[in-house]
Amino acid sequence: MKSKFKLFWVGLSLAIIVFPAVLAVGIFIKPYNRHLNGDLPKEFYLVWMIIAFVFMLYLALTRINILHVDPKVIKTTNLISRKKQEIYFSSLDGYKSKMEWSHSGSHELITLKKDNKSVLKISSFYYSNFNEIKKILEDELKEI
């Protein structure tokens, strides 16, 4: 079974990744008026935009994956980096499920674990067929 994205949220996430980079560049292109910007130097805004960009890029690289779930293996392809990975259920210790909260409500996050380390995170925030994916994981793995 192939994962299906919630297009609005994935698109919004990708747009949020691009926004800090564009804003940081814009700070240096447009004329800067200290009095309109609260007497903070423009470098202050640049640093915060870089931090926001790195954080959102990290989230996208770790959570937005195209998934192909079979009874024995999960094949992932990262939407941004195009990195491919095969994760066999037999090599995993199990999965951990928890709830996350965001501006749009609560979402379930499943983390696949191997040697007590996170291997893959699957969030109901990004996938419209999350319940089908979760059902396969529950059948094949134990909850830790």
- CATH number for the domain including 98? 2.30.29
Question: How many domains would you assign to the chain?
Answer: 1
Is pTM beyond 0.75 here? Answer: no
**pLDDT(73) > 70:** yes
Name the one residue in this structure whose structure tokens are 């700070």: 27
Interatomic CA distance for residues 93 and 32, integer angstroms: 54
Q: Hey, how many other C-beta atoms are within 10 angstroms of the C-beta on 101?
A: 8
Is the pLDDT score of 79 beyond 80? no
The answer to the question of residue 34 being in a domain is yes
pLDDT (average), residues 20-26: 68
Lowest mean pLDDT among 13-17, 66-70, 107-111, 134-138: 13-17
Is position 132 within any domain? yes
